[in-house]
Chain A
Amino acid sequence: QSMLTQPPSASGTPGQRVIVSCSGSNSNVGRNTVNWYQQLPGTAPKLVISRNNQAPSGVPDRFSGSKSGTSASLAISGLQSEDEADYYCAAWDDNLNGVVFGGGTRLTVL
């Protein structure tokens, strides 16, 4: 059972905008920043959004993030086939004194 809740799947067609949600609690998302990771099959996760809404260097500006209260979301606009991957949210949890993940969302580009 993951501490952060994500939908197991999402989908969209090329060019569409897709949003992946991440729900937590006051001890994690509510109080700390959220990071988002993209994991392509057979590879290590890649940071695509950090500190709620910052895109690291090299990440396309099609990726954006936001947070409100105990929920966060990752938006991907102008969906491309290369965006098909698993996406995970993560945040520090003050009660656990460690990092917690969402269960992951598998994004399919139809």
Chain B
Amino acid sequence: QVQLQESGPGLVRPSETLTLTCSISAGSISSYCWSWIRQPPGKGLEWIGHIYYTGSTSYNPSLKSRVTISLDTPNSQFSLKLRSVTAADTALYFCARDLRDGYCDGEWGSWGQGTLVTVSS
């Protein structure tokens, strides 16, 4: 069973860049589609974007200008960079993997536990 674990700073200053890493274990990152999803405190889920193992990416249009998702295949990790953050970016950030190889359609069968990022000075 693949395991995912998010890591990164819990506090980011406004206007700076939020960087998170998702580490994969008990599975290969060289296949499947890998996603980031976030959840502001007390609110619903929001898809941020995904990267297919080939390196192809897709981003939420509302965040596209500030987001980069990249793969680090040798280290079995993928990362999220969100630039110019504001308080509105405060959220629980999850990484997830699609259930079926070859599909990037939000059928997430494996999730990390989530990491809370607070944007504050």
* Chain A residues within 8 Å of B, Cβ to Cβ: 2, 32-33, 35, 37, 43-47, 50-51, 56, 88, 90-92, 96-104
Asked if residues A44 and B106 are in contact (CB atoms below 8 Å), the reply is no
Task: Quote the shortest CB–CB distance from B42 to chain A (angstroms).
Answer: 11
Q: A35-B108, A37-B45, A46-B111 are in contact. List 10 more A-B contacts (CB 8 A).
A: A35-B106, A43-B113, A44-B112, A45-B108, A56-B99, A88-B45, A90-B45, A92-B105, A97-B58, A101-B47
Asked if residues A101 and B46 are in contact (CB atoms below 8 Å), the reply is yes
- C-beta contact mask, B95-113 vs A, less than 8 Å → 1, else 0? 0000100000111110111
Assuming the contacts A44-B113, A50-B99, A101-B44, asked whether A91 and B106 have C-beta atoms less than 8 A apart, the reply is: yes
Q: Which residues of A have CB within 8 Å of B120?
A: none
User: Among residues 16 to 48 in chain B, which have CB atoms less than 8 Å away from a CB atom of chain A?
Assistant: 35, 44-47
Q: Which residues of A have CB within 8 Å of B45?
A: 37, 45, 88, 90, 101, 104
Complex CA gap A32/B108 in Å reads 15
